[in-house]
Structure 1
Amino acid sequence: MKTVLSALLLSVLFFSTRVSADETILAGGCFWCMESDFEKLDGVNDVVSGFTGGKTRNPTYNGDHRGHYEAVKITYDPNVVNYQQILDHYWVNVDPFDDRGQFCDKGQSYLSAIFVASEQERVIAEQTKEAVQAQFPKQTVVTPILASTRFYPIKGNEIAHQDFYKKSPVRYKLYRWNCGRDQRLEEIWGDKASH
């Protein structure tokens, strides 16, 4: 009896002290930049670069990733930052009007997209998209809201892509500047752009 009570008490303590976390997957062009932009947001615990949205199994950066988006899986504490705030931060870090990619990166894998895992997420995502469209009535927001599919994190010998902005800060800053990301974000969003 004591063993059962001890086990029950331990499980109650474990579950009551667990850190609450939610996840979402977003595509916004280069996953190096998305990772950097989201790791700066309070309440974000982890950002993992990878691929999603395609049918090719085990996509790789230097191999076959046809049909996939470069994306990030964001783990966040909903007690600090909620899903809508995550999306508000997302919008000011992408060009929602570019139907060919993001900034200097063009092609299907660099398109922007929001991947939703529930109807509640879809409703919030649609509302934020409508708010962006209302803010820019003369332009068309092309960022789709799609059902979540399997996320493939970067792995193996391509793991250098994870945390690239920390591992190679000079190369990362040169890439970001030469790609025109921050310049375009400021052009669209003004002081709301975060970089």
Structure 2
Amino acid sequence: MTQPKFDTSYNRTWLPLQELATKIAAHISPADWLRVSSAYEMAENIHLYQKRNDGTPYFWHCTRVVKILTHELDVTYPNLIIAAILHDSLEDSDILNHEILEYNFGSDVSSWVEILTKQVRVKDEAEKLAINTEYRQRIQEGPIECQIIKLADRLDNTRCIQFNLKRNPFSYIQETREHYLPMTDGSARPELCRLAEKIVVEMNRYLG
């Protein structure tokens, strides 16, 4: 069976705040929508000047991770959406910290974002390897919400891999297959299983 072709404009898509409101605002309280919209604006400001390797705004990636949750998995849980939009915020800000996140969005969100935060400003290869191993273990042992967000993140990155997103796309695919997809083994959460299935489709599409 022939795999469908890549969407050649996927990396230039994003989720505007109004579209997110149309999708979820009717399903959550006004107070929770205010929290979601505040998180969206915070992430937009944090990533304002960041670009991905393909030249697109980094913030678009964060919104697509949210869109995977809300549009493909029908997630409406505010804390999960907030943590998803902010999942890279601690890595990319010198001002934001755990206390600010907790004050604005609660202990669950701040804890999940902290678990999803990886030390990225490291050049030593041995240290990088140790950090990556500890990072994956932290997510594996963390709340299920962290695993859902991380797999949505890997799904979006895999969909963008044709756009020179990663210096070594085959290594990224191998890491996904060996270390992230096994997080779904034995899971009773359908979200994880559906994300894993979608990731496999994208990997197979890239590999032909």
Whether TM exceeds 0.5 here: the answer is no
Q: Give TM-score, length-normalised by structure 2.
A: 0.27
Of the two structures, which has the highest relative contact order with CA contacts closer than 8 Å and spacing of 6 or more? Answer: 1
Structure with the larger helix share: 2
Rg larger for: 1
In terms of fraction of residues, the more strand-rich structure is 1
